[in-house]
């Protein structure tokens, strides 16, 4: 079992080579979907814990090129393929860039506002 990234945070998922994030709320429940770089037709739904239906969702330390809001969802296109970790901290869900899985220091986070390709 992998340890949570930081004290008090529960790791929900790590995903490699993500090209974009879709955040939304429907039927009084928060949801997150990820799509891969170069393949916008296949998505990965992230299963959020069911004990709290609505979460505050934060996106941190991920370089992106565009954000499109269209009620009830927001789509964030990343600057390039990015490895992400999704964690829970109380009633907050935090999505942030992380080092590629299996890389030395894989729990190290990238500096925010970076425009470099995160491979």
In the chain, domain spans: 10-97
- Name which of 30, 2, 38, 40 is nearest 95 in CA terms: 30
The pLDDT profile of the chain, 119 residues, written as one tens digit per residue, is 334 467 789 999 999 999 999 999 988 899 999 999 887 778 999 999 988 889 999 999 899 899 999 988 999 999 999 999 999 999 999 999 986 655 444 344 444 443 344 43
SS3 content of the chain, % helix, strand, coil (to 5): 0, 55, 45
pTM over 0.85? The answer is no
């Amino acid at each position: 079992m992998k340890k949570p990234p930081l004290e008090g945070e529960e790791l929900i998922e790590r995903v490699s080579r993500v090209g974009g994030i879709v955040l939304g709320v429907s039927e009084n429940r928060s949801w997150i979907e990820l799509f891969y770089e170069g393949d916008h037709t296949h998505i990965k739904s992230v299963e959020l814990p069911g004990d709290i239906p609505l979460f505050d969702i934060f996106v941190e330390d991920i370089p992106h090129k565009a954000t499109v809001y269209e009620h009830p969802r927001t789509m964030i296109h990343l600057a390039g393929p990015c490895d992400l970790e999704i964690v829970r901290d109380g009633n907050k869900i935090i999505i942030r860039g992380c080092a590629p899985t299996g890389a030395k220091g894989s729990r190290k986070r990238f500096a925010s506002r970076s425009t470099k390709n995160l491979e």
